[in-house]
Amino acid sequence: DGGITQSPKYLFRKEGQNVTLSCEQNLNHDAMYWYRQDPGQGLRLIYYSQIVNDFQKGDIAEGYSVSREKKESFPLTVTSAQKNPTAFYLCASSIGGKETQYFGPGTRLLVL
């Protein structure tokens, strides 16, 4: 089956800890995105990558980091600098130059 997978479904972070959220796609899409969603709100763009080995900051990049070493993978690290990390994190991908985005099932991050 083609699609986007995110893991884990739930993630718990302790104070001062960095955690990494996984996003993998087998759709052969060039572009990938990370969004944050807070309760009852829309999606805010954290980082995006249009091609391997290149990525750009979105609207709320502070406290987050990403890498894009492979076309299929776009992991997001929530660093200890992100003081309010509790949220639902969504990964998406799109064919290069096309507008429609395809979303993974999300990872819910909670702080212990």
Partner 1 sequence: SQQGEEDPQALSIQEGENATMNCSYKTSINNLQWYRQNSGRGLVHLILIRSNEREKHSGRLRVTLDTSKKSSSLLITASRAADTASYFCATDRGGSRLTFGEGTQLTVNP
Q: Which stretch binds partner 1 (CB under 8 A): 20-28, 63-71, 72-80, 101-109?
A: 101-109
- Evaluate whether 52 touches 38 at the Cβ level (below 8 Å): no
Tokens 């759709």 identify what position? Answer: 27
Name the E strands within 3-86.
4-7, 10-13, 19-25, 31-37, 43-51, 54-57, 64-66, 76-78
Q: How far is the CB of 99 from partner 1 (least distance, A)?
A: 6
CA atoms within 13 A on the CB side of 29: 28
Choose between 43 and 52: whose C-beta lies nearer to partner 1: 43
Residue span 68-87 as binding mask against partner 1, x where in contact by CB under 8 A, dash where not:
--------------------
Residue from 16, 84, 100, 112 binding partner 1 (CB under 8 A): 100
Q: Which stretch binds partner 1 (CB under 8 A): 18-26, 39-47, 68-76, 78-86?
A: 39-47
Please work out, in degrees rounded to the nearest 5, the angle formed at the alpha carbon of residue 57 by the alpha carbons of 90 and 64: 60
| 42 near partner 1, judged by CB under 8 A | yes
CA–CA distance, 105 with 112 (Å, rounded to integer): 23
Name the residues that contact partner 1, by CB under 8 A: 4, 31, 33, 35, 40-45, 48, 50, 56, 58, 88, 90, 92, 94, 96-106, 108
